[in-house]
Amino acid sequence: MKVKIERVETVPGSSLNSRWADPMQKVYTDNGVYIDNMPGISHGAIYWPGGDWTQLVGQTVSITVVNKSGHEWIKLS
């Protein structure tokens, strides 16, 4: 799927899941809002390192969305 990255917000992990202590990224696109680990960090339900989505704001990119732990996780395709 192709989406345009509109903005990225860093949020406390606990705002998404009470057991997540580390910061997370909320990635706002023209197709919805997704989450990801912080850049270079991998843990929890998703084991690939988080992307640096702030570098892609304003760009259209190909993504894969994975549904895990009650959230839609974004990954570059």
Q: Can you give the pLDDT of all 77 residues of the chain as single tens digits?
A: 999 999 999 999 999 999 999 999 999 999 999 999 999 988 766 678 999 999 999 999 999 999 998 999 999 99
Secondary structure (H, E, C), 17-65 = CCCCCCCEEEEEECCEEEEEECECCCECCECCCECCHHHHCCCEEEEEE
Q: Closest Cα to residue 40, out of 30, 54, 29? A: 54
Q: What is the pTM of this model?
A: 0.93
Question: What's the number of CA atoms in the CB half-sphere (13 Å) around residue 74?
Answer: 28
Place of tokens 């990635």: 27
